[in-house]
Amino acid sequence: MSVDVIANIRSCKSTAQFLDSQFNELVAKAWHKQADIVVKDSSYNLVATKNLLCIADEFGIDKADDDDYKLVRLLNAEYLDRIQNNQFIEKSFPQVLEGIELGQGERVVWEFKETAKSEPQRHAQEKQWTVFSSVLNNILMRKRYNELAIKIEKSGVLIITNQGLFYKINNSISQTKYSEIHSLTPMKNGVRVQANLSGAMPDTYVTGDGRFTYALLQYAQGLNR
């Protein structure tokens, strides 16, 4: 069916006076509109998902062109469907990143590359705004705090195992066991992890697909039960 969809799209070009770049731009716009509909549905249409992935591959619609992470969510759709239907995920990650040591019986369930990590910074709360009125303090200071309070690390790798999380950026590796997590909160493009340690600040991992990441963490924790 995907082959037929590609052929139908290609046939439109022969009847229209478009340059290749113009035609590809129109296809990309139509793709994004249809992808919006699919990823916002509570249950992905896997046939539509497969067609959209084939179109993206054929016309060069990649992650760099997709600020809303639609392509990322479509790529994960099949695995999210398996989790929602209580099916096992059969995906192999044979090579563990250098520096990461798995515990006894621990195995990699999923690996998110190019994952950003954000965390609140306590020093932002010390910022003083004594010259502003209470109105400005309630508005501008709060806006400024939001800008200062988030530290974002880019290009890290988030590894989910059946026992916890690893996050590696450059040569730095952090590990969080599921037993150390107080709560998980799904976000639009990732998950927020709150540790149960006293004074711990929450970490947000931006994978591009909050719904799948949250479901995957629930699934991974359940593997040891």
pLDDT in tens, 30-44: 999 999 999 988 888
The reply to whether 114 and 203 lie within a common domain is yes
Does the pLDDT value for residue 130 go beyond 80? no
CATH code, domain with 216: 2.30.29.30
The reply to whether 32 and 75 lie within a common domain is yes
Does the pLDDT value for residue 46 go beyond 90? yes
User: What integer best gives the mean pLDDT of the chain?
Assistant: 81
The reply to whether 62 and 168 lie within a common domain is no
The reply to whether 38 and 113 lie within a common domain is no
The reply to whether 56 and 158 lie within a common domain is no
The reply to whether 191 and 114 lie within a common domain is yes
Per-residue confidence (pLDDT) for residue 129, from 0 to 100? 42
Q: CA 218, CA 225: separation in Å to the nearest integer?
A: 11
Does the pLDDT value for residue 119 go beyond 80? no
Per-residue confidence (pLDDT) for residue 6, from 0 to 100? 80
The reply to whether 42 and 113 lie within a common domain is no
Structural domain includes residue 129: no
Tally the domains of the chain: 2
pLDDT band at 23 (very low <50, low <70, confident <90, very high): confident
The reply to whether 16 and 73 lie within a common domain is yes
The reply to whether 29 and 113 lie within a common domain is no
Q: How far is CA 112 from CA 3, 108, 109, 119, 153, in A?
A: 29, 11, 10, 18, 14
Structural domain includes residue 141: no
Structural domain includes residue 128: no
**Which of 123-127, 140-144, 205-209 tops mean pLDDT?**
205-209
Residues of the domain holding 178: 108-119+151-222
The reply to whether 79 and 112 lie within a common domain is no
pLDDT band at 131 (very low <50, low <70, confident <90, very high): very low
Higher pLDDT, 61 or 52: 52
The DSSP code for 21 is H
Structural domain includes residue 91: no
Give 165-219 pLDDT, tens digit per residue.
999 998 899 999 999 999 999 998 899 999 887 777 889 999 999 999 999 999 9
- What share of the chain in percent tops pLDDT 90? 48
Structural domain includes residue 46: yes
The reply to whether 13 and 113 lie within a common domain is no
Structural domain includes residue 101: no
The DSSP code for 139 is I
Tokens 């139509």 -> residue: 30
Give Cβ neighbours of residue 93 (< 8 Å, ≥ 6 apart): 108, 110, 111
Domain limit, last residue, from 68, 84, 100: 84
Left, alpha or beta for 199 (phi > 0: left; psi -120 to 50: alpha)? left
SS3 at position 144: helix
- How large is the average pLDDT for residues 78-98? 88
User: Taking the complete model, does pTM exceed 0.75, yes or no?
Assistant: yes
The reply to whether 42 and 115 lie within a common domain is no
Structural domain includes residue 89: no
Q: CA 47, CA 128: separation in Å to the nearest integer?
A: 55
Q: CA 215, CA 225: separation in Å to the nearest integer?
A: 16
Structural domain includes residue 8: yes
- How large is the average pLDDT for residues 143-152? 43
